Amino acid sequence: MRVIILAAGKGERLMPLTNNTPKSLLELANGTSVLESQLLSIHEAGIREVAIVTGYLTEQIEAKINKYSREYGIEF
């Protein structure tokens, strides 16, 4: 099974929090980002193929998530 995560939006309704940070990288109360939390849940479900659709501030998303790319089978 393969999962596609949509992480391309600007998150305009969350501004000013998203002025310089993609909404998918906003931190939750436990210190992980929204996207990291999704990846952990997907991994726990046994899914090992993940495609992340990026757009706004793609470089930040790739830099943050690259550490998971091998173990989680992530493609951007």
- The pLDDT of residue 68 is 85
- The pLDDT of residue 67 is 87
Task: Quote the pTM value.
Answer: 0.86
Per-block average pLDDT, block size 10, for the chain (76 residues)?
A: 93 93 95 95 94 95 90 86
Residues recorded for the chain: 76
- The pLDDT of residue 71 is 81
Which value, in Å, is the radius of gyration of the alpha carbons in the chain? 12
For 7, the enclosing helix (H) or strand (E) is strand 2-7
Give how far the C-alpha of residue 51 lies from the chain's centroid of Cα atoms, to the nearest Å: 10
> Token match 């193929």: residue?
49
